[in-house]
Every structure is written in structure tokens, then in C-alpha cells.
């Protein structure tokens, strides 16, 4: 009487019988691999969805340089326009779907553009703080004017002196109650103009770009 062959399969030339300990171990490992793959895919999908959300914050000049399809560019523009919560949520899901269709080069280009913007924003913030510090020093200390002129000899001295003098004259009295509440006093026009003058000399390119953008907004 012939013996009934066992059911099973071969792995690297070795027979593995179904139901055996090795069979159960291999199936467990295979299931674990599948679960890991699903987890990794979900992680990648979530990351691309977040990258799509970040894409909404990207400056137009950086956006134009990206290798993106017209469909994705239009979808991002539409997501910016929508204010309804549910409508925006659905639109962002669509953006995420399009993001998952991008190749690695396009994804890397988006990340690089966002990093350029982030570094630029940090530099702009630092420049603003420096301008604020110089403005306050010029108003508070007589010797600050000489230090400023040594570093920025191209400044119109007469205009600078006039703004400093007027800003000091217009300075509001200290309101201890307002200070304790974190309320900033209303500042004069000379105070604001002094800040613009200082900023223009510290970072002329950024200042001119900002002015051009504001003029463009007025034209619209």
C-alpha cells in the first residue's frame, strides 16, 4: 500500500510539511513582514499627506520652480482658497492622493524648497530683531548714533537725527499698569519710520522685495 505524500512546499531545497513547526514559524515570519510593509506604507502615506499640507505654505517663487503636475498645483491653489472645514479636509485628501503619485525627485525637491523657505524665514526674523535693537539703541543712547554711522556711513545723517529726535519727543509715558498686562504703547510715526530706515540699511534686498510685494498688492 503506497504511503500518502505529505502536503507541503520547498524552501531553499528543503521540504517543509504543512502544519509542522517550521511551517508555522515561516508563516509567522511572512505575516510579520506583511504587517511591517503595511505599517511602512501607512507611515510614508502620512508623511506625504503632511508634506502636502506644508506645500500650502510655500512661497509662490519657490513653488514655481518645483517639478509638479498642473493637477497638483491647481489642487494646492484650490485648497488655499477653500475656507469650509469639511471642504478643505476633502481637498487635502485629494492633495495627499496626488502627493503619493510623485516620484522621489519631486518629493525631495519639495522638501528642499521648504527648507530654503524655513532658513529664509529664520534669517528674516533675526534681521527684524537686529533692526529693532538698533532702533531702540538709537533712541535710548546718544553714542549709538556715532556707532551706527561708523558701520553705515551711507545713511542720511540729517534724516536719521530728525527721526531720533522726533521719536524721543513722541515717546509715550510709561504706563506701569499696561506694562504689567503685556500691552505695548502706541508708537509714533517717527518711531516706525526710524525702524524702516534702519532695516533698509541692514538688509536692503529684503526691504526692497517687501516694498515691491506691497506695491503689487496695492495694484491688485
Asked whether the predicted pLDDT for residue 220 surpasses 70, the reply is no
Q: 95-123, pLDDT tens digit by residue?
A: 999 998 988 899 999 999 999 888 877 77
Predicted local distance difference test score (pLDDT) of residue 40 = 76
Q: 132-160, pLDDT tens digit by residue?
A: 999 999 999 999 999 999 999 999 999 99
Asked whether the predicted pLDDT for residue 182 surpasses 70, the reply is no
Share of the chain above pLDDT 70, in %: 75
Whether this prediction's pTM lies above 0.75 is answered by no
Query: What's the whole-number mean pLDDT along residues 31-49?
Result: 74
Asked whether the predicted pLDDT for residue 49 surpasses 50, the reply is yes
Alpha carbon separation from 110 to 24, 56, 91, 171, 215 (Å, rounded): 45, 11, 19, 46, 29
Start-to-end C-alpha separation, the chain: 95
The one-character DSSP state at 68 is: -
Query: What's the whole-number mean pLDDT along residues 3-30?
Result: 70
8 A C-beta contact, residue 63 and residue 75: no
Burial 26-41 (b: 16+ CB within 10 A, else e): eeeeeeeeeeeeeeee
Dihedral sign for Cα 98, 104, 105, 109, please.
positive
> For the chain, what is the mean pLDDT?
82
The one-character DSSP state at 1 is: -
Q: Which domains does the chain have, with CATH numbers?
A: 8-102 (1.10.60.30), 122-219 (1.10.60.30)
Amino acid at each position: 500500500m503506497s504511503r500518502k505524500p505529505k502536503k507541503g512546499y520547498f524552501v531553499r531545497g528543503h521540504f517543509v510539511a504543512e502544519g509542522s513547526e517550521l511551517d508555522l514559524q515561516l508563516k509567522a515570519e511572512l505575516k510579520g513582514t506583511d504587517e511591517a510593509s503595511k505599517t511602512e506604507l501607512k507611515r510614508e502615506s502620512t508623511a506625504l499627506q503632511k508634506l502636502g499640507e506644508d506645500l500650502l505654505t510655500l512661497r509662490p517663487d519657490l513653488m514655481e520652480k518645483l517639478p509638479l503636475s498642473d493637477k497638483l498645483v491647481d489642487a494646492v491653489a484650490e485648497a488655499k482658497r477653500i475656507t469650509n472645514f469639511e471642504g478643505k479636509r476633502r481637498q487635502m485628501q485629494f492633495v495627499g492622493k496626488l502627493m503619493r503619485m510623485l516620484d522621489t525627485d519631486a518629493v525631495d525637491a519639495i522638501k528642499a524648497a521648504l527648507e530654503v523657505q524655513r532658513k529664509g524665514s529664520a534669517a528674516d526674523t533675526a534681521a527684524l530683531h537686529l533692526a529693532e535693537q538698533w532702533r531702540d539703541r538709537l533712541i535710548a543712547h546718544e553714542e549709538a548714533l556715532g556707532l551706527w554711522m561708523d558701520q553705515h556711513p551711507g545713511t542720511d545723517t540729517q534724516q536719521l537725527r530728525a527721526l531720533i529726535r522726533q521719536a524721543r519727543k513722541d515717546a509715550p509715558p510709561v504706563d506701569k499698569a499696561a506694562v504689567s498686562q503685556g500691552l505695548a504703547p502706541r508708537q509714533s510715526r517717527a518711531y516706525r519710520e526710524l525702524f524702516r530706515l534702519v532695516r533698509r540699511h541692514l538688509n536692503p534686498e529684503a526691504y526692497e522685495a517687501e516694498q515691491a510685494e506691497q506695491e503689487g498688492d496695492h495694484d491688485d
